[in-house]
Structure 1
Amino acid sequence: MNKGETILEVKDLKQYFKVSRKLTVKAVDGISFDIKAGETYGLVGESGSGKSTTGRSIIRLYEPTGGHIIFEGQDISGHMSKQAISTLRTKMAMIFQDPMACLNPRKKVIDIVAQGLDIHHAYSSIEERNEKVYKMLEMVGLSREHANRYPHQFSGGQRQRIGIARALIMQPDLIIADEAISALDVSIQAQVVNLMKKMQKETGAAYLFIAHDLSMVKYFSDRIGVLHLGHLVETGTSEEIFANPLHPYTKSLLSAIPHPNPRVEKTRKSFTYDYATSGLDYTKGKQQKVTDTHFVLATDEEFETFKKNAGKPY
């Protein structure tokens, strides 16, 4: 797809899990956003906010309870046609959070990375298959010699590179990175994110970048969506979200970012937000437009209050 075209459109996505006859957990409760070809959309929020569930619902690891997921013009939320299934499995890929748990310990790296090629028979000879794997390993900073090793013989950063290679081998148009750097050391995180940015430039793939490290999300993402309790409370460009956050939950997240300067950090004040005592009701809110790209979930009264408090220190 051409850069700037909408590759993924999520409309009123709901993902509920029935725990018992009386209890249903609303992990994702009616969120809407879109991702354009070649861009990175960051999804942030605290643990349990519904970030990973959203990613897994989009790639159909979960059956969505409601809403629509439009990927490259095809609805993949309900019963899918053979063409839609083929598009989903070849043009969308996922990088998982735990770089060890998602790799088969009994398989060599060459077979792990080539899994997509093997399933879809995307080669004419075994030599072509192996050559594709070798090229992909070199692209992610590994060598041909690594192809015949097992996952336990690698470090955490190297395992995540193997996971990235496996996700990219089919040349997908959309990659869902589910907390892909959270299990890594800080120095390795920077390497992996820079690698992902480099691969994006070379392949033109779009990313749904799920994370809770806001500084890394700001560095990597073009636009950001803030999730809380299964609701998308605010969305906008990275500059808008960080320079002018409107929703109190977004303000509380940003205020918790530690500052590298110890003098500034000593005087930094974090803003506490408690939904139970805030007086806000996400179920009654609607998307209020601030700019062409900046939206916040609020009722009319809440939105006026947000605007009055916009720009004030938190």
Structure 2
Amino acid sequence: MAVNYDAAPILKVEGLKQYFKVSKKFTVKAVDDVSFEIYPGETYGLVGESGSGKSTIGRSVIRLYDPTAGKITFDGTDISGRLSSKDNEMLRTQMQMIFQDPMASLNPRKRIGDIISEGLDIHHTCSSHAERDKKVKAILEKVGLSPEHATRYPHQFSGGQRQRVGIARALIMDPKLIIADECISALDVSIQAQVVNLMKDIQQETGAAYLFIAHDLSMVKYISDRIGVLHLGHLLETGTTEEIFSHPIHPYTRSLLSAIPAPNPVVEKQRKAETYDYKTSGIDYNKGTSHHVGGKHYVKCTDEEFARWQ
């Protein structure tokens, strides 16, 4: 499904900051001045090393954290400040999250059917018990599970099946945006492919947008329409998948892409991984501004660095 970039974005994040005060003298700046937008039906991939602030952005957007500063607009509504009960209900139904660890995010004391239908019960979207059961069975079949699985408990499933339960729980509310927080990193490679293909199929059917947070660059390349590269809480480069992979500008992006192993042994022997160390690079992320490379491609750097890297 082609993404219409002329339409209004479903999610717009402007100058998001998320700080955590550890002590009187020390504050962790987990996310520092990040801006991006996601359009209806688009998959926006967020990549970066561990500790770069990817999951924090996802949790701030869905308001599990209160943002320190910045503005988050979802479907035309400002959700960055104090939420009214009406805005809160809209957010909880129209935006859903698939968590990284499926076992930690599923209540071990509840049956799968009750876990999946919890959103329906809270928001009273079903008029009868029969309608609720019908919706649960339909969503289980959609994610590749059997309707009989509704009576089982989470410990009776494999990792891949538990992740499908997590996807079903997110989908049953028919959301406009799904935040997938490294939802495939804990799975086997063959299961990863199944889950990602399932997510792509569901997107074709429902037209939902994804914020896809991941480490695996090859998987991000496969599923994403646009990619944002995050490091130390700063969004360094963003662009379409083709722009980022064929013409990376920032040294950190280049080092990430150069680390991808090639499946061809002849090419792999020739591959040279670039090294990047922020401390010795002489780059100051706080001084950088957004520069337009072309198309949807932007890089955050100073004017001198932009002229040098082009």
Instruction: Please confirm whether the aligned pair reaches a TM-score higher than 0.5, indicating the same fold.
Output: yes
Q: Does 1:80 align with 2:73?
A: no
Q: Deviations over 1:217-239 (max 9, x none)?
A: 00000000000000000000000
Among 168, 189, 201, the alignment partner of 1:165 is 168
Distance 1:101 1:3 in 2: 39
Cα deviation for residue 262 of structure 1 reads: 1.5
Structure 2 unaligned regions, length at least 5: none
Among 25, 28, 31, the alignment partner of 1:28 is 31
- Show the counterpart of 2:253: 250
TM-score, scaled to structure 2: 0.98
Distance 1:123 1:145 in 2: 20
Cα deviation for residue 79 of structure 1 reads: 0.8
Structure 1 unaligned regions, length at least 5: 308-314
Change (3 A) 1:100 1:235: same
Change (3 A) 1:235 1:284: same
Q: Deviations over 1:37-90 (max 9, x none)?
A: 000000000000000000000000001000000001111011112221111000
Q: Does 1:236 align with 2:239?
A: yes
Among 107, 129, 134, the alignment partner of 2:110 is 107
Contact kept, 8 Å, 1:3 with 1:37, in 2: the verdict is no
Secondary structure at 2:162 match in 1: helix
The CA RMSD measured in Å over matched residues stands at: 1.2
Q: Does 1:137 align with 2:149?
A: no
Q: Does 1:213 align with 2:212?
A: no
Change (3 A) 1:2 1:147: farther
State, as a whole percentage, how many aligned pairs show the same letter: 71
- Show the counterpart of 2:188: 185
Among 286, 304, 312, the alignment partner of 2:307 is 304
Secondary structure at 2:294 match in 1: coil
Contact kept, 8 Å, 2:5 with 2:39, in 1: the verdict is no
Secondary structure at 2:190 match in 1: helix
Q: Deviations over 1:164-221 (max 9, x none)?
A: 0000000000000000000000000000000000000111100000001000000000
Q: Does 1:128 align with 2:131?
A: yes
Secondary structure at 1:107 match in 2: coil
> Match for 1:197: what amino acid?
K
Distance 2:6 2:188 in 1: 33
Cα deviation for residue 2 of structure 1 reads: 11
Count of matched residue pairs? 307
Contact kept, 8 Å, 2:143 with 2:164, in 1: the verdict is yes
Contact kept, 8 Å, 1:232 with 1:297, in 2: the verdict is yes
TM-score, scaled to structure 1: 0.96
Distance 2:6 2:124 in 1: 28
Contact kept, 8 Å, 2:34 with 2:234, in 1: the verdict is yes
> Match for 2:79: what amino acid?
I
> Match for 1:71: what amino acid?
F
Contact kept, 8 Å, 1:3 with 1:38, in 2: the verdict is no
Q: Deviations over 1:225-271 (max 9, x none)?
A: 00000000000000000000000000000000011112211221100
Contact kept, 8 Å, 2:285 with 2:301, in 1: the verdict is yes
Contact kept, 8 Å, 2:163 with 2:183, in 1: the verdict is yes
